[in-house]
Amino acid sequence: MILPLEITNLRKRYRDGIVEAVKGVSFNVNPGEIFGLLGPNGAGKTTIISTITTLETPTSGEVKVFGMDVTKDPMFTKRQIGVVHQEVINSGFFDVEEILQFHSGYYGLRKNTERIHFVLNKLALYEHRKKKVKQLSGGMKRRLMIAKALVHNPKLLLLDEPTAGVDISLREDLWKFVRELRGAGMSILLTTHYLEEAEQLCDRVGIINLGALACLGDTKEIIRQYTQKKIRVVLTEPLHLRSQFLIEEKGKEMLFIVPQNKPLGEFLSEVAIPTNLIKDVHIEEGDLEEAFLKLVSNNKEVREAL
């Protein structure tokens, strides 16, 4: 099976080899999935995307888009991918539709009005198509960047912080559209600092730190493996007990932290709280943000893995 994206032992050095921004990273994006590439600022995410898009050349390793090495046939790569960069790029003296017609021309698409109108409608820009770009709000300019990335109907979409600085309503609209694109068979690589969104959207994630891949796998499995759940038990009267899971005791409330895979019934049996004293039980599951913070803060393990 030809994969939309394959990255094998990618390394990228700068300043005559002194600074290594990417350190032997390997992962792939499967057909029809949303893959999240997550990490703190300076972790190497944008360098990886720049290498995929041929803006940077790998120091070593291999990057393939639909089976083709990006360094050997960059034009093939550019036809297959759409890219939404972090920075909003303005062409303020042209209107929205003109910009998309120009952009279509870069791919040899002379009569692309139907596709342009489809994308504009999906991104709620159709009624603004005759506005000059300089007249658009910040959120609309962000939508226009996404429209430019989709105008040639790419098979692989790279989203580098696409919702940075946009309001909640627009963010929800964009993610709804991203899910529709995945449903239509498009493969998507996403970088974002909004980890709640990544948890909801991404089938798999790779967490990168200090230029190295700290973790790679199914989103739900990473959460299960690297987080714990909190159980707050509310009692009818105070009760003093000893438990390895108890971290806080305050009046009639007790807070426990337990492994994600421990069933509630088993936990209650182990702590041996009389059932007649239990008034309520609140469970808070771990999330991707908790797993992310645990992984990126453990710099020693990442360095030892290099």
Q: What does the pLDDT look like over 121-152, one tens digit per residue?
A: 988 899 999 999 888 888 888 889 899 999 99
Residues 20, 166 within the same domain: yes
Q: Which of 18-32, 196-210, 292-306 has the lowest mean pLDDT?
A: 292-306
Residues 198, 90 within the same domain: yes
Q: Where are the alpha helices (DSSP H) in the chain?
A: 45-52, 74-80, 96-105, 113-122, 138-150, 168-183, 195-201, 219-226, 264-271, 288-297, 299-305
For 56-67, what is each residue's pLDDT tens digit? 999 999 999 999
Residues 259, 129 within the same domain: no
Residues 29, 131 within the same domain: yes
- In the predicted model, what is the mean pLDDT of residues 269-279? 89
Domain of residue 67, residue span: 5-223
235 pLDDT band, cuts 50/70/90, is: very high
Q: Assess if residue 191 is contained within a domain.
A: yes
Going 184 to 188 to 192 to 195, the CA torsion angle's sign is: positive
- In the predicted model, what is the mean pLDDT of residues 278-295? 92
Residues 212, 281 within the same domain: no
What whole-number distance in Å separates Cα of residue 212 and Cα of residue 20?
10
Residues 279, 164 within the same domain: no
Cα torsion 128, 134, 140, 146 to 10°: value is 100
For 207-228, what is each residue's pLDDT tens digit? 999 999 999 999 999 999 999 9
Residues 167, 258 within the same domain: no
For 147-184, what is each residue's pLDDT tens digit? 999 999 999 999 988 877 677 777 888 888 889 999 99
Predicted local distance difference test score (pLDDT) of residue 299: 52
Share of the chain above pLDDT 90, in %: 60
Residue 126: both structure tokens together: 């159709």
Predicted local distance difference test score (pLDDT) of residue 175: 86
What whole-number distance in Å separates Cα of residue 207 and Cα of residue 226?
12
Instruction: Choose between 53 and 87: higher pLDDT.
Output: 53
**Tokens 């080899």 belong to which residue?**
17
- In the predicted model, what is the mean pLDDT of residues 101-123? 91
Using DSSP, state whether 200 is helix, strand or coil: helix
Q: Assess if residue 36 is contained within a domain.
A: yes
State how many domains the chain has. 2
Predicted local distance difference test score (pLDDT) of residue 141: 87
Name, in order, each residue with C-beta under 8 angstroms of 293's C-beta and a sequence gap of 6 or more. Answer: none
Identify whether the C-beta of residue 37 lies closer than 8 Å to the C-beta of residue 189: yes
- Give the residue among 287, 288, 285 at the shortest CA–CA distance from 207: 288
Residue 19: both structure tokens together: 């600074």
Res. 188: pLDDT tops 90: yes
Predicted local distance difference test score (pLDDT) of residue 300: 46
State the chain's maximal CA–CA distance in angstroms.
76
Instruction: Choose between 306 and 118: higher pLDDT.
Output: 118
Residues 54, 201 within the same domain: yes
CATH number at residue 126: 3.40.50.300
Could you give the angle at the alpha carbon of 235 between the alpha carbons of 231 and 238, nearest 5°? 115
Residues 91, 211 within the same domain: yes
- In the predicted model, what is the mean pLDDT of residues 17-35? 93
Q: Assess if residue 69 is contained within a domain.
A: yes
According to DSSP, the β-strands at 253-259 and 246-250 are antiparallel
Res. 87: pLDDT tops 80: no
